[in-house]
Amino acid sequence: MERRVVITGLGAITPIGNNVEEMWQSIIDKKCGIDKITHFDTTGFKTSVAGEVKGYDALNYFDGKQARKLDKSSQLAIVASREALKNSRITRENTDFERIGAFISSGIAGINTIEEQCEISTIKGYNRLSPMFIPMAVANMPAGNVTIDLGIKGESISILSACSSATHAIGEAYKTIKYGSEDVILAGGAEAPICRLGVASFENMKALSFAEDKSRASIPFDKERSGFVMGEGAGVLVLEDLEHALKRNAKIYAEVVGYGATSDAHHITCPAPEGEGGARAMKRAIEDAKIKPSEIDYINAHGTSTILNDSLETAAIKTVLGEASKTIMVSSTKSYTGHLLGAAGGVEAAICVKAMENSIIPPTINYKVKDEECDLDIVPNEPRKKELNYVMSNSLGFGGQNASIILKKYKGE
């Protein structure tokens, strides 16, 4: 028998807030988290801005020995997961920790550690590499370290699908609970890519915005967009079997009702023509949710601020929603945070939950110049009040890996 899956906890650390409530207040206040890069000296780089987590000090969350053994991506995953589990009020008294999973994904996980250790080997020799190099750098460690920190003993996996990683993690967690394999799963993503190696790689790919004005760098759907802005952070949701949640009298934020995943089978970085791969993911999610396209009230778009992504995602939404695309509200909260790569879907899903809880649609901020190819209602610059019953969140990754999830307002039925 299929089980219903609900969201009972939220955790986040982002460029616009070091917890969920701070993040949501920044959404309401239209506070952009993009600013000058401070993590390294950008002399010689074309890129000068990013979405850094503000005021982060690992020693506020970990002791010195623990912090030294954790790549920043794992640190951020743990911070968000601790908040999510605490927010859910799950304890060893009301939940079997052997039936709690951790599906925490990342796109490039330990890139800070890789950069650091490669420099050490070049300057001092390979015999000076840290014995913790691989345990810190490999992509499964955000999930693995979360299980160690929280004592979670259920299934632990990391789905690596570039910028779709966290949305895939949430979708697969939903399916895992739906079919009874786990009672609870912490699902989402973490990323800490803002280092010389990370920025230079995307810069040389010509994927990043070189804008120096922080308010005109990450501008999804704007005709003057020129590339994405790199961000860092983590977003984690607690997904739970409805009956289990009711039994322990949990606060239920929303229900996960749809998930769709597809491949473009087209190109390693360029989306398929007309966004057809993303369109199929959205269509699958709608079919899984057993709703009509017109029932979706709001879409949190992938909306990266690159020329191709925004126009092709627009085309995909039009294909799937048809006439309803003329009235549906679609915004990109990457205008606030920049692009958190493999963590993006986790943060954006948490924002969608808060939007449903508060009946407020996040705007696409810093929008100025209309693009005729991006002619959806992108909720420019100002939040809107509206009750939301169904919300979709999209993620589209390099390699043509697409994922969409649909959340439903939980009304106690």
Identity of residue 256: V
302 is catalytic: yes
Contact 108, 341 (CB under 8 A): yes
352 is catalytic: no
> Computed from CA positions of residues 242, 19, 332, 411, in that sequence, does the dihedral angle turn out positive or negative?
positive
Q: How many CA atoms lie within 13 A of 392 on its CB side?
A: 35
Based on the number of CB atoms within 10 Å of its own CB, is 2 exposed (0-12), middle (13-18) or buried (19 or more)? exposed
Q: Considering 163, 195, 352, 374, which one is annotated as catalytic?
A: 163
Q: Considering 32, 195, 339, 352, which one is annotated as catalytic?
A: 339
Q: How many residues does the chain have?
A: 413
Contact 351, 47 (CB under 8 A): no
Residue 188 and residue 147: Cα distance in Å, rounded? 13
339 is catalytic: yes
Which residues are catalytically annotated? 163, 302, 339
